[in-house]
Amino acid sequence: MKITSRTSAQLAVMRQRIAKGQYIKDCSKLLRTAEFWQDAIKNRLETDLFNSNQAHTLMALVPRERIKCLNKLNDSLLQEGIFYYIEQLFVHQLLLPGLYQPVRILKKDWRAVKAVIQLSLCAYPLDLSLELIDDQRLKERIDYVHLNCGYAEQKRYQLLIHAVHFSNHLRNIDIPQHASLYLDDKTILLGLRTNYSASKDWFCQIKRQLGKTYVCDLISFRRPFEFSGYLIKPPKNLGEILIDVPQRNLVTWGNAFHYGNFLQHKPKAKGMLIHLSVTEILHHYQIEWSQVLTSYKDSDRSKELDKWFYFSWLSLLRTIALKKGCSVTKGAAALKKQGLTFNKLKKLTYNNQLASRIH
């Protein structure tokens, strides 16, 4: 392939070839230019994936001259460059604005949505769309990033491959101009601003084209629906969309942590912890609470989540009471003497801090 002088021009040439189903060759040459890496980092800053400090740190790693050996690039820089490369070549323009954005972006962009088409993958897609890359060096760099990135980056990679997979279908689907698109690694949401009955025509068209790859559902946005582990609630009385936590998910967390039956509000002690000190027991619970908070970091302050935290607090009190051989009331009083009430401990957990003075 002829290498043009500017990164954007070369990417445009490659996108045209991919749209025609043609192979792209010698594309690893672009990775050897400092301009490409500068554009990639600027893109991360503009899309809020990086803050200015992160962007400045990676920008300092970009070589000033042509890169002779890609193996010597910093792994974090290489990862973002490869992700950016795949996005620019294979992801449809309609998907790029919301790619990697947290689910809370729905609160801003979906207030006028009246119906939702939900597309759930029947099976995780293979990255077969990347087979048009006829450059062994670039393929090796992609494989290296895929195999060596951390858990959070693996989730982003899965999301990216899903976006590439769905982009191939988007070329054959006439998406209405008023539609809003959002996706995670398994599900596509298509928000329509037409009423429910008018949205049925779009739904039937999309189902005919995607029915073998996705499970298709049409949902009226007058009622909540689940997406990416959250419960998305429609706005009421010109209010805003609420992002809540499904009760059944909290039941599952309660069972996994052996807190008891959350649905019936029957907390129980964790007998396997009574050999630990009170400090260690508290630390154990706080780690579990932090896991739940991390999983639902994009949710609004949920009443259901607050109920779950109080339920787990009662489990904690029963565990301490079992250890000390006293009543739950006396166990709570012992914690209160050390300045730890339910509200205090919940606040410390939300701030990801545990009182170091406990003994």
Given a cut of 90, is residue 118 above it in pLDDT?
A: yes
Both tokens of residue 304?
A: 């259901």
Range with lowest mean pLDDT among 99-113, 263-277, 338-352: 338-352
SS3 47: coil
Strands 266-267 and 260-261: antiparallel
Range with lowest mean pLDDT among 20-34, 57-71, 333-347: 57-71
- What is the separation, in whole angstroms, between the first and last Cα of the chain? 68
Average pLDDT over residues 131-154: 86
| Phi, psi angles (nearest 5°) of residue 182 | -150, 145
Burial 175-204, CB ≥16 within 10 A → b, else e = eeeebbbbbebbbbbbbbbbebeebeebbe
The one-letter amino acid code at 42 reads: K
Whole-number Å distance between alpha carbons of 110 and 116:
10
Average pLDDT over residues 26-54: 82
Average pLDDT over residues 4-19: 82
Helix axes 303-324, 247-256, angle to 10 degrees: 20
Closest CA to 321 of 306, 335, 331, 336: 331
pLDDT value for 129: 62
Q: Look at phi and psi of residue 249 and say left if phi exceeds 0, alpha if psi is from -120 to 50, else beta.
A: alpha
Q: Is 351 exposed, middle or buried (0-12, 13-18, 19+ CB in 10 A)?
A: exposed
Q: Of the segments 19-23, 64-68, 106-110, 271-275, which one has the largest average pLDDT value?
A: 271-275
pLDDT in tens, 173-222: 878 778 888 998 889 999 998 888 788 888 988 888 887 889 999 999 98
Are 260 and 153 in contact, with CB atoms under 8 Å apart? Answer: no
Range with lowest mean pLDDT among 1-5, 148-152, 154-158, 263-267: 1-5
Whole-number Å distance between alpha carbons of 258 and 269:
8
Q: Please state, rounded to an integer, the average pLDDT across all residues of the chain.
A: 84
Given a cut of 50, is residue 353 above it in pLDDT?
A: no
Are 283 and 355 in contact, with CB atoms under 8 Å apart? Answer: no
Are 190 and 116 in contact, with CB atoms under 8 Å apart? Answer: yes
Structural domains of the chain ordered from first start: 1-74 (no CATH), 91-243 (3.30.70), 245-350 (no CATH)
Query: Could you say which DSSP state residue 73 is in?
Result: S
pLDDT value for 359: 36
pLDDT in tens, 221-274: 989 999 998 999 998 877 789 999 999 999 999 999 999 999 999 999 999 999
| Phi, psi angles (nearest 5°) of residue 24 | -110, 130
pLDDT value for 67: 67
SS3 content of the chain, % helix, strand, coil (to 5): 55, 10, 35
Both tokens of residue 152?
A: 């959070």
pLDDT value for 232: 93
Whole-number Å distance between alpha carbons of 155 and 161:
10
Closest CA to 30 of 63, 4, 65: 4
What residues have CB less than 8 Å from 274, skipping those under 6 apart? 281, 319, 322, 323
Given a cut of 90, is residue 6 above it in pLDDT?
A: no
Query: What is each CA distance from 346 to 192, 260, 262, 308, 357, in whole angstroms?
Result: 39, 19, 18, 11, 16
Whole-number Å distance between alpha carbons of 202 and 78:
40
Whole-number Å distance between alpha carbons of 224 and 54:
37
Given a cut of 70, is residue 356 above it in pLDDT?
A: no
Range with lowest mean pLDDT among 22-26, 50-54, 170-174: 50-54
pLDDT value for 96: 86
Give percent of the chain with pLDDT exceeding 70. 91
Given a cut of 70, is residue 329 above it in pLDDT?
A: yes
Given a cut of 50, is residue 355 above it in pLDDT?
A: no
